[in-house]
Amino acid sequence: MKPHHHPDASSLMSYAAGSLPDALATVVACHVAVCEQCQQAVAEAEQLGHFLMEQQQQTELSAHARNDIISMLDAVEQSEPEQPASPVHDEGDIPLPLRPYLGDKLDSLHWKTMAPGIRQFIIPTTKGRLRLLKIAPGTSMPIHGHSGSELTMVLRGSYGDEVGRFQAGDVADLDPEIYHQPATDTHEDCICLIATDAPLKFTGLVPRILQPFFQL
């Protein structure tokens, strides 16, 4: 998989710094898992992170900290070695970082119908909102803008909007100024992983009324 659309450098940088809201960080992690170009950028941003960390002033630790750590080391040595994590199966279409939580297959999730042609699966996160959307062929989302950051990664199928065409592996990292109306553009369902850190802004009245019910 060689994605054509990537998260913005600002998102990769904040991801590397550990400063992206949880939900957005998950989308970046899923993309980075399949994109060498972004792995490179993240590694560079982490390098910048360590440089800035080293530049930082030093804060003295309490007097007993050094002795404490030595006794902690002793305790570790006496305890059992940790079991290595079990390897992940290579089959499946759920992004690697989500597999321990969701399993391997997108089709085995319990999708909930949200609107005609649109089904969703909500993934709880600590900061921001994260969901999977399954959009039937020929369906378009109501036109909307964003009051915050939105990251969308296509997992299956493709969609097009005012910004471009997005296929599996691609990430749309939209500026909040952009109002768009994504629509699936092939004969198969389009499944996306979408993270937002603020509610969407719909222009139509009906979607605005329904918004609270679907946690959009």
Q: What is the DSSP string of 79-110?
A: SPPPPPPPPPPS--SS-GGGHHHH-S-GGGS-
Q: Are 169 and 34 in contact (CB under 8 A)?
A: yes
Write each residue from 32 to 71 as x if it is in contact with another protein (CB under 8 A), else as -, in one continuous string.
Answer: xx--x--xxxxxxxxxxxxxxxxxxxxxxxx--xx-xxx-
- DSSP state letter for 118: E
Residue 177 binds another protein, judged by CB under 8 A: yes
Residue 32 CA to residue 106 CA, distance in Å, equals 19
Residue 92 CA to residue 100 CA, distance in Å, equals 12
Residue 43 CA to residue 209 CA, distance in Å, equals 43
Residues 1, 63, 73, 205: which binds another protein (CB under 8 A)? 73
Residues 126, 205, 212, 213: which binds another protein (CB under 8 A)? 126
- Of residues 29 and 183, the one with the C-beta less far from another protein: 29
- DSSP state letter for 61: P
Tokens at 23, concatenated: 């939900």
Residue 163 binds another protein, judged by CB under 8 A: no
Residue 171 CB, nearest approach to another protein (Å): 14
Residues 115, 168, 198, 210: which binds another protein (CB under 8 A)? 198
* Residue ranges that bind another protein, judged by CB under 8 A: 8-15, 17-22, 25-26, 28-29, 32-33, 36, 39-62, 65-66, 68-70, 72-73, 76, 82, 96-98, 100-101, 123-126, 148-149, 175-177, 197-198
